[in-house]
Amino acid sequence: MTAIKLIIADDHELFRNGLAELLRKHDDIKIVKSVADGLELMELVNTQFEADIVLLDITMPNRDGFAVLKELKALNSNIKPIVISMHDDGNYIAKCAKMGAYGYLLKNTDESELIVAIRSVAIGKKYFSAEISEKMINFMSEQSISENILSNKETEVLGLIAKGLTTKEIAAKLFVSSRTIETHRANILKKLEVKNTAELIKKAAKMNLV
């Protein structure tokens, strides 16, 4: 079994050294390169440098982790990125996952978990711990991104308009200002290309929006 070839990309030398020392104990993991920023990393990647995994920090000078993820994906590189970051917010995790990260680790992750993650990714699996997954899912469930022509909020407003509520009543019901509802209403009219409420209801019914 050949050792897993690893690159560490982080701007803190102390961190890189610590991590290297930690991993040196494990024979199946070999640190082949250590770089201080995204630019250096990408230059390395572009030289067809052979590596299996990159432990990638998000916050780096010159080119940050997000940019690196994007480029690696674009290059269809064989190097699998595992993000190792101080950020423990769901949005960072979700974004990294969406951008092609194979795993997400917090910098203070225990040695054991770190090794598990590297090994899992090395065999082509993705690794997100239970804790990290929960954070990511919590965040994603809060997001209200609609695939429809109307946003979720707009659909809700449209429904209330169809029920015959006035702008003021809708505002009170949805806990927003009247102006917000008016703006929503204007946006709905624009999106559905109609001029007044009667036309709006007619078109919305036709499109099965209400």
Between strands 29-35 and 4-9, the pairing is parallel
Of 163 and 173, nearer to another protein (C-beta) is 173
Return all residues near 3 (Cβ < 8 A) that are at least 6 apart. Answer: 27, 28, 29, 30
Of 140 and 162, nearer to another protein (C-beta) is 140
Of 21 and 199, nearer to another protein (C-beta) is 21
Q: For residue 92, give both structure tokens.
A: 């960072």
∠ CA(31), CA(122), CA(96), 5° rounding?
90
Q: Are 102 and 80 in contact (CB under 8 A)?
A: yes
Residues between 114 and 143 that touch another protein (CB under 8 A) = 138-139, 142-143
Residues between 169 and 208 that touch another protein (CB under 8 A) = 174-177, 179-180, 183-184, 187
The CB-of-48 to another protein minimum distance in angstroms stands at 30
Of 49 and 107, nearer to another protein (C-beta) is 107
Does the protein bind another protein through residue 90 (CB under 8 A)? yes
Sign, Cα dihedral of 137, 138, 141, 142: negative
Residues between 14 and 53 that touch another protein (CB under 8 A) = 14-15, 17-19, 21-22, 25
What secondary structure letter does DSSP report for 25? T
Rounded Cα distance, 116 and 192, in Å: 52
Contact positions vs another protein (CB under 8 A): 10, 12, 14-15, 17-19, 21-22, 25, 59, 66, 86-92, 95, 107-108, 110-111, 138-139, 142-145, 151, 153, 174-177, 179-180, 183-184, 187
